[in-house]
């Protein structure tokens, strides 16, 4: 007689947990559940909470009062997107996790990161919204073998139950690294480098779009991507990143 599949699955899961107990995704110490952080690593991971800039997600002093607030940068720099959020500050253990995903082939980190992104992006989500990643140039994609932003956007779309288009955007010019450039240099470096894939444009026209990237510093790359989407007919663009470089970080 065949047993209840639910009981069999529960038994198999318990057996696997005995053989392979859950470990912290950062340090490897025991945890209560899979794909989580231990207490020490959690405290060393700066999740963004409380009042934030409604356009870029950087933390702000004060308490939420039910109205949009903006940081100094977003009051002085024109942003082509409407709203933005970030899950983490790019420092301490958050920086370690981002670099492990981006350069350490830790693709398993995309799963918990999807949950963190979903929590951060909740105020931005709308019914029928399309989620898409910031693209890599094909030469970098061949060398790295994956686009970390596409892994994050896929995980977020799964968590949110929204459509995902991993190749909505193309980076048509291989830009130089943004490291060491000032704000003007960053914007000039990516100017005109991103456009909408001509075969994916119909999926985006007239829809609200959420762009996903791993880290936001000046916002230059996200601005280039957002401008391309607006020019191609998106109803609106919002952005979310796994981590945000903040001045006080």
Tell which wins on pLDDT, 43 or 18: 43
Q: Distance between CA 207 and CA 217 in Å, rounded?
A: 27
Least confident of 39-48, 77-86, 124-133, 166-175: 166-175
Q: Distance between CA 46 and CA 52 in Å, rounded?
A: 14
pLDDT in tens, 69-117: 999 999 998 899 999 999 999 999 999 999 999 988 899 999 999 999 9
Cβ pair 79, 55 in contact under 8 A: yes
Q: Distance between CA 221 and CA 103 in Å, rounded?
A: 19
Q: How far is CA 21 from CA 33, 38, 45, 110, in A?
A: 8, 13, 22, 20
Percentage of residues in the chain having pLDDT higher than 90: 69
Nearest to residue 218, comparing CAs of 191, 173, 186?
186
Q: Distance between CA 163 and CA 236 in Å, rounded?
A: 16
Q: Distance between CA 38 and CA 161 in Å, rounded?
A: 28
Nearest to residue 116, comparing CAs of 154, 84, 155, 162?
155
pLDDT in tens, 139-190: 888 888 899 999 999 999 999 999 999 999 999 877 666 665 666 666 666 7
Q: Distance between CA 171 and CA 91 in Å, rounded?
A: 28
pLDDT in tens, 51-79: 999 999 999 999 888 899 999 999 998 89
Q: Bridge-partner residues for 171, per DSSP?
A: 194
pLDDT confidence tier of residue 34, bands split at 50, 70 and 90: confident
Q: How many residues does the chain have?
A: 249
């Amino acid at each position: 007689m065949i047993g209840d599949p639910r009981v069999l699955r529960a038994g198999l899961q318990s057996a696997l947990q005995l053989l392979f107990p859950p470990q912290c995704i950062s340090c490897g110490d025991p945890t209560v559940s899979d794909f989580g952080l231990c207490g020490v690593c959690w405290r060393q991971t700066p999740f963004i909470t409380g009042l934030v800039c409604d356009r870029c997600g950087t933390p702000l002093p004060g308490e939420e009062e039910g109205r949009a607030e903006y940081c100094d940068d977003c009051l002085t720099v024109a942003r082509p997107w409407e709203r933005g959020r970030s899950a983490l500050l790019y420092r301490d253990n958050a920086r370690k996790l981002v670099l492990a995903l981006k350069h350490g082939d830790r693709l398993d980190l995309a799963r918990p990161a999807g949950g963190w992104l979903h929590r951060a992006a909740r105020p931005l989500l709308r019914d029928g919204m399309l989620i898409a990643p910031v693209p890599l140039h094909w030469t970098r994609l061949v060398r790295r073998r994956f686009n970390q932003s596409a892994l994050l956007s896929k995980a977020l779309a799964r968590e949110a139950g929204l459509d995902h288009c991993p190749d909505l955007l193309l980076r048509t010019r291989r830009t130089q690294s943004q490291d060491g450039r000032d704000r003007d240099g960053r914007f000039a470096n990516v100017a005109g480098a991103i456009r909408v894939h001509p075969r994916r444009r119909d999926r985006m026209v007239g829809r609200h779009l959420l762009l996903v990237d791993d880290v936001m510093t000046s916002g230059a790359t996200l601005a280039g991507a957002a401008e391309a989407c607006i020019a191609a007919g998106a109803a609106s663009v919002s952005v979310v990143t796994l981590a945000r470089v903040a001045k006080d970080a």
